[in-house]
Structure 1
Amino acid sequence: MILASSSHRYLFFSGFAFIFLIIAFCTPIYASNIQGPFQAVSGPGGRDYNHSQVISSTYGSGALQYWIFEPGSPSPESAPVIVFNHGWSATNPLFYRPWIDHLVKKGNIVIYPRYQSSILDSSDNFTQNAIYSLKDAFIQLENGEHVRPQRENLALVGHSAGGLISINMAARASQEGIPQPKAIFCVQPGLSRSENRTMGPLLEDLSKIPSSTLLLTLAGDRDDIVGSFDSEKIIKETTSIPPENKNYVIMVSDFHGNPPLIADHLSPLAILNCGEYRLMVNALDYYGTWKLFDGLYEAAFYGINREYALGNTTQQRFMGLWSDGTPVKELKVVDY
C-alpha cells in the first residue's frame, strides 16, 4: 500500500488553487539533456486523431454546471460518451484540457460535470450532482443540434475525488436510470469517508456494478495526498467484476531524464512544468493515463486493444523510451 501523508492532505481538501502559486514562484532547473518519450504515432495514447476540432459548450450553473466537448472537422453523426469527473475543486476543465482534447479528437463526446460550486460544498451531493449533469447533458445532446450520443457506449473516468464519484455513478446507474457504463478508470481515487475520516465522498455498494464492466484503478508511487487506499478498496469491493476484467496499477516515478517523470497527485493535470510538480503533458500521460484509458474504453466499446489496459501485459506496462534508449520505468500491475 502507498500511504498518504497527513501533512499533505490539506492540499487535497483545499483544492487545486495552490497550483497558481507554484506557477508564479518557481522555475525548474534540470542538469540532464536526456529527454522523455514523445507521443506515439498511433494506437492507445497516440496521436492518430480522427478529428481536428474540439467544440465546447456549457450548461447549467453552480454545482449543476457542466461542459460538453464534441468532435468536429469532421463532425460525426454519433459518438460514444465519456464522463470526466475532476478532482476536488478543479471545477474548470482547464486543468485537464489536454486529456479532454485527446479523448474528443479520438472520436468521443466528453461531459465534464462541475458537481460542486465551491470547496465548502458537502461531498454528500457530489455523485448526485454529477448524475444530474449527465442526464441533462443527454437531453441537450439529443436535441438535434449536437453530435448524437451513443447511450450504449458510456465510460467514466475520474481523478482524485472524481475517481470516487465515477465508481459511485456506476454503482447507482440502474437505480438512477442512466446507462450502465462499460468502462471505469479511477485515477488516484480518494479520499473516501471511513471510520477515521469524516470528509470525502462515501463509497456506494460497489458489488452492484455488473461483471461485464472493465475497471482500472491507478495510484502514483509519489502520491502523498491520497495514497493507494481507495485504489485498492475499489478493486476489492467490486466483487461482481471478475479479476480478468479489472486491474490495480501503480505508476512509477523516473528521474533518469529531463524533466523527471514524477507520479505524484498532480501528474494527471496538464498545465505547465514547474519544479518538481509535473504539470505538463509527458510520458505519464501518453503511456500512462491516456494509453490505459484508451485501451480500456476501446476494449469495452469495440473489442480491441484490451492488452493495452488489462492483463499485466507488456503493452499495458510499457511507458516509452528516454531519448538515450533507456526504457521508462514500467507500470506495476498489483495482485490483490
Structure 2
Amino acid sequence: MKRFWLSAASLLLLSAISFGQSPFTPIASGYGAQGSFIAIADKFPSPLYESENVYVFRPAGASGRVPVVFFAPGFGNNDPQEYQSLISHIVSRGNALVFAPYQIVSGDASLNKKRYDTIFAAYEEAVRRYGESFDLRRVAFAGHSYGASASLSMAWRGVVDKGWGEKGVALFLMAPWYYAEMSLKQFVNFPPQTKLIVEVFDNDEISDHRIAKEIFDRINLPSSEKDFVILNSEKRLGYDMKASHGTPSGGEINALDYYGIYRLFDALTDYSFNNSIAGKSIALGNGQPEQKFMGTWPDGAPVRPLTAGDCIGVTRSQISFLFPYFPTTMGLTTVSSADFKTETGLAPESLATAWGTNFSLYPLANDNPVLPLELNGTAVRVRDSACVDRLAPLFFVSPTQVNYLVPAGTLPGAGTVTVFNETGAISSGPASIKNVAPALFSADSNGQGAAAASVLRLKPDGNLQYEKAIEYSLGQARFNTLPIDVSDKNDQVFLLLFGTGLRYRSALSNITALVGGIPVEVLYAGSQGDFPGLDQINLRLPGTLSGRGEVDVVLSVDLQKTNTLKVQIR
C-alpha cells in the first residue's frame, strides 16, 4: 500500500488537470468554499476487481474519527483524477472519501450485480483497513451516472445491512443512469434518516432525466428531506458554461461546480451530520432563493439560478438522450370507498379505492394490525396541492383494484394518485382532495340500498341493547333492511351509521341528518376509533317516525351531501 500527500509541491496521485479559462473564482467562505485540510491518499487492490485499485482519501491532521463519503464514479471513470477537484474539496472539509472502481465491460446487464458487489466490497475493505479513522455514524453516499444509481443500493447495504449512518445519512446522486437491484419494498422502506439530493444537468445528452425523476419520486422520504435539482447552462461574456453529463468529472471548474455541486454537497452533509438548519435551507430549500443562487459573472450579473424543489417536472424528449427512459403510465380512477363517486372527492384519513389495470400480480388483503406502505409489490403515492408526496397505507391490492387510506396531512386541492408495482408499471390519475368528503357505507358495499347500520336501544332502567338493522338474504343475494321499533316512548333509540371522509368536519352543529325527510338529532360524527379511516355517526330516532316503513337517510356535512341510503322504521 502506498501513501500520497496531496500538496502543491509534490507529485500528486490526482495530477493537475488543465481546466481552461473559467471566468469564475472559488467561493471564499461558507458552503462551497475549500476547507483547511490537505488529503492523504492511500490505495489498495479492489477485492473483486484486482486489476484496479480502491482509493481512500483522508484529511491530514484531522483529530478523531471523521465522516466518510462513499463515492461511486461514472461508467469508465475508474481513475480518481477524473474527479480531482471534487474529491479535493470534499476531503478539505474534513471528510474521508472512498473511491470504488468497478468493471466496465458494456452491454451485459447481468454484470450489474457483479459491479454493485465490487463497489460495496471495496467500501467494506476500506472500512476494515481504515475504520479506526472513520466515523461510520455519519456517512454519505455519492455517485455520478452509473455510480449514482449504484449508490442507491450502496446506501441500502451500508445503512440497513451494516448499520452505518446512525447519526446521519446523506445521499447525493448526480445524473443517475438506469438503476438495478432496488425493489419497490426497498424504496418504500428506505432508511428514514436519509437526506437526499437528486441532481441532473440541463444539457445532459446521456442519461434521461426521467430516470432521476423516477428515483426521486419512488424513494419514500418526506418532501422536506429531499430535493430534485437541475443545473442550468448559460452562455455569457464569450464563455459557454454547459451543464452536461460530465460536469462532475474533468473539464473546467466553474460556477456549476462551486455552487451547483460543492455548495449543495457541503450543505447537505452539514444538515445530515449536524442537523444544521442553515445547511437545510441551502441543500433542501425547495427552490428558495438562497438555494438557487449560483454566484455572479465577472461583470456582476447573476448566474442563471439552478432549478430545485419537490415538484420539478422533466420536459426534454427521450430521443435527445443516448440512454432514454420510456416509463409507461396508465390511467386510474380513484373514489371514496363508501359511495364510489368521483365527485365526492377524498379527505385526509378517509378510505379510498383506485380502479385501473396492472396494479398487482394477484389479489392480496393485508392481515397485519399495522397497515403497510407496500403490499404484494404495490405502493400508492398521494401528491397534494402543495406537491407533497406521501405513501398511502394499504388494505387490499389486486390487478384492478387497490383500497387505501388517504394519508394524514394531505392538503385540499387538486391532487394526484399514483400506483407503482414491482414490475415497474405506473398508473396515475387526478384526485380532488377536500377537508371533508362525506360518504356513507351501504350494507352491500356499493354505496346504495340498505345502510350499513346498527341500532342501540337505551331502556328506562339503563340497560343497553344492540339490535340489527340489516339482514342478508341468500335468495336475493343482498342485504335487506330490518324494522327498527321506535314506538315505545320510554326507550331511547339511536341509529349508528358508518362512513368516511367526515372526521374533519368544522363543527357538529354543521351536520344535519334527515330520516324519512324528518330532521333528527346528530349526537356524534367522527372517527369510529377501531378501524383506520372509518367514521361513525350517531343519530337519535324520534318516536314520530313510527310506522314510516323503509325510508331514506341522508346527511349534510359542511354543506356537502352524502349518498342516500335506506333504513326501515316499524
Same fold (TM over 0.5): yes
Q: Answer whether contact 1:36 1:321 (CA < 8 A) is retained.
A: no
Secondary structure of residue in 1 paired with 2:261: helix
Query: C-alpha displacement at 1:115, in angstroms?
Result: 2.5
Secondary structure of residue in 2 paired with 1:60: strand
Give the match for residue 248 of structure 2: 268
Question: Counterparts of 1:3-82 in structure 2 under 5 Å?
Answer: 36-47=23-34, 49-51=35-37, 53-61=38-46, 63=49, 65-72=53-60, 74-82=61-69
Match of 1:229 among 206, 210, 213: 210
Match of 1:165 among 146, 150, 160: 150
Q: 1:334 to 1:75 in 2, by over 3 A?
A: closer
- 2:247 and 2:171 map into 1 onto residues whose CA distance is 19
Match of 1:213 among 173, 177, 194: 194
Q: Answer whether contact 2:292 2:305 (CA < 8 A) is retained.
A: yes
Query: C-alpha displacement at 1:116, in angstroms?
Result: 2.1
Q: Answer whether contact 2:197 2:229 (CA < 8 A) is retained.
A: yes
Give the match for residue 259 of structure 1: 239
Q: Answer whether contact 1:269 1:280 (CA < 8 A) is retained.
A: no
Q: For 1:254, give the aligned amino acid.
A: E
- 1:210 and 1:132 map into 2 onto residues whose CA distance is 21
Spell out, residue by residue over 1:167-196, the C-alpha distance to the aligned partner (whole angstroms, 9 max, x if none): 11123335532514611000000133xxxx
Question: Counterparts of 1:130-209 in structure 2 under 5 Å?
Answer: 130-142=119-131, 148-174=133-159, 176-180=161-165, 182-192=169-179, 201-204=180-183, 205-209=186-190
- 1:174 and 1:76 map into 2 onto residues whose CA distance is 25
Structure 2: gaps (5+ residues): 1-16, 312-570
Give the match for residue 197 of structure 1: none
- 1:120 and 1:335 map into 2 onto residues whose CA distance is 34
TM-score (norm 2): 0.47
Query: C-alpha displacement at 1:84, in angstroms?
Result: 1.0
Q: 1:175 to 1:245 in 2, by over 3 A?
A: closer
Indicate the structure whose relative CO is greater, using CA pairs within 8 Å and at least 6 residues apart: 1
| The 10-residue stretch of structure 1 (128-137 or 316-325) with the greater mean CA deviation from structure 2 | 128-137
Give the match for residue 265 of structure 2: 293
Q: Answer whether contact 2:202 2:244 (CA < 8 A) is retained.
A: yes
1:245 aligns with 2:225: yes
Structure 1: gaps (5+ residues): 1-22, 193-200, 271-278
1:307 aligns with 2:294: no
Which structure has the greater CA radius of gyration? 2
- 1:170 and 1:310 map into 2 onto residues whose CA distance is 19
Secondary structure of residue in 2 paired with 1:281: coil
Give the match for residue 103 of structure 2: 116
Q: For 1:110, give the aligned amino acid.
A: L
Secondary structure of residue in 2 paired with 1:260: strand
- 1:244 and 1:327 map into 2 onto residues whose CA distance is 27
- 1:188 and 1:182 map into 2 onto residues whose CA distance is 20
Secondary structure of residue in 2 paired with 1:99: helix
Give the match for residue 293 of structure 2: 318
Q: Answer whether contact 2:67 2:96 (CA < 8 A) is retained.
A: yes
Q: For 1:295, give the aligned amino acid.
A: A
State how many pairs are aligned. Answer: 282
- 2:159 and 2:175 map into 1 onto residues whose CA distance is 25
Query: C-alpha displacement at 1:259, in angstroms?
Result: 2.6
Q: For 1:126, give the aligned amino acid.
A: R
Query: C-alpha displacement at 1:75, in angstroms?
Result: 3.6
Q: For 1:66, give the aligned amino acid.
A: V
Query: C-alpha displacement at 1:54, in angstroms?
Result: 1.2
Give the match for residue 565 of structure 2: none
Query: C-alpha displacement at 1:234, in angstroms?
Result: 1.1
Q: Answer whether contact 1:219 1:227 (CA < 8 A) is retained.
A: no
- 1:115 and 1:176 map into 2 onto residues whose CA distance is 21
